[in-house]
């Protein structure tokens, strides 16, 4: 049985259909790339999976409807990293990552809540995995874009959820940090997590993901094996671009080259 199953999921907002009936499955240990042009419905779909938007259809995790699982319990099974990377207050990096343990926190009477050993372990290993342990005393508003992206990822990893949803986690990063974050997500999948990541970089999608879902105007243009999805024809249809493709060290790279003319 697949870990995550989407059955005829549709999202509407203000009478406009943003995602049309869409079905998809994600297994354990899979890294799924969600690609498509701006406005294709990628973020909408990922928010629907994270139960942040109302939708029709069914989204099941381990066979259980996600919208029937109590919020707190659900928060332990599903970690969501949004596109918005602002942190409102200059809290320390350690405190920020610790927020990932919020779903495990005791009631208010425990006040600031002493973290349990499990909490401490999860926080430290998430910070070491993302290489932000040395930043733990820094205020979050003093971080560079790349540091902030890794810290926020550490926050999501600290949840230790079997399902990780990341909305454009590499959008603001330089090439090196992009590679680092993708390797991290890859490693998470290796350790058994199901990861869904929204990407714009087709080469990263091709190299790191197990399978892809290509969206265009709220519909799946193609889904499945990476090479089948990333065909020149699909990319022209969805993005309206011509691409240059090649192979290097046994892996495909894809460079957007021209705007396709009708």
Which chain residues interact with other proteins by CB under 8 A?
47, 50-52, 71-72, 74-76, 78-82, 84, 86-92, 95-96, 99-100, 102-103, 105, 108, 111-113, 139, 141, 155, 159
Instruction: Decide whether 48 or 212 has the Cβ nearer to other proteins.
Output: 48
Closest by CA to 204, choosing from 232, 173, 234, 233, is 173
Q: How many CA atoms lie within 13 A of 8 on its CB side?
A: 2
Q: How many CA atoms lie within 13 A of 105 on its CB side?
A: 16
CA angle 180, 51, 163 (to 5 degrees): 40
Q: Please tell me the distance from the alpha carbon of residue 4 to that of residue 206, in angstroms, as a whole number.
A: 22
Is residue 26 within 8 Å of residue 194, measured between CB atoms?
Answer: yes
Least distance between other proteins and beta carbon 166 (Å): 11
Is residue 29 within 8 Å of residue 144, measured between CB atoms?
Answer: no
Least distance between other proteins and beta carbon 181 (Å): 17
Least distance between other proteins and beta carbon 215 (Å): 20
Instruction: Decide whether 106 or 192 has the Cβ nearer to other proteins.
Output: 106
Instruction: Decide whether 94 or 209 has the Cβ nearer to other proteins.
Output: 94
Least distance between other proteins and beta carbon 261 (Å): 38
Instruction: Decide whether 161 or 222 has the Cβ nearer to other proteins.
Output: 161
Least distance between other proteins and beta carbon 112 (Å): 5
Instruction: Decide whether 64 or 174 has the Cβ nearer to other proteins.
Output: 64
Is residue 193 within 8 Å of residue 161, measured between CB atoms?
Answer: yes
Q: Please tell me the distance from the alpha carbon of residue 214 to that of residue 55, in angstroms, as a whole number.
A: 20
């Amino acid at each position: 049985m697949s870990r995550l199953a989407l059955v005829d999921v549709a999202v509407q907002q203000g009478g406009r259909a943003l995602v049309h009936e869409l079905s998809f499955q994600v297994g354990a240990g899979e890294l799924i790339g969600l690609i498509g042009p701006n406005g294709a419905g990628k973020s909408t779909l990922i928010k629907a999976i994270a139960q942040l938007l109302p939708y029709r259809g069914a989204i099941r995790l381990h066979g259980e409807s996600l919208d029937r699982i109590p919020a707190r319990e659900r928060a332990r099974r599903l970690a969501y990293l949004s596109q918005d990377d602002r942190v409102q207050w200059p809290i320390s990096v350690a405190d920020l990552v610790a927020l990932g343990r919020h779903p495990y926190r005791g009631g208010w009477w425990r006040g600031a809540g002493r973290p349990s050993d499990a909490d401490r372990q999860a926080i430290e290993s998430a910070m070491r995995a993302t290489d932000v342990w040395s930043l733990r005393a820094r205020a979050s508003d003093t971080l560079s874009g790349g540091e902030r992206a890794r810290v926020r990822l550490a926050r999501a990893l600290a949840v230790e959820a079997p399902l990780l949803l990341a909305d454009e986690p590499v959008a603001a990063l330089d090439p090196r940090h992009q590679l680092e974050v993708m390797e991290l997500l890859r490693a998470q999948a290796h350790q058994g997590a199901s990861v869904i990541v929204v990407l714009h970089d087709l080469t990263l999608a091709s190299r790191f993901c197990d399978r892809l879902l290509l969206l265009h105007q709220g519909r799946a243009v193609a889904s499945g094996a990476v090479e089948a999805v990333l065909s020149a024809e699909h990319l022209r249809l969805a993005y309206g671009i011509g691409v240059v493709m090649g192979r290097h060290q046994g892996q495909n790279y894809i460079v957007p080259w021209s705007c396709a003319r009708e």
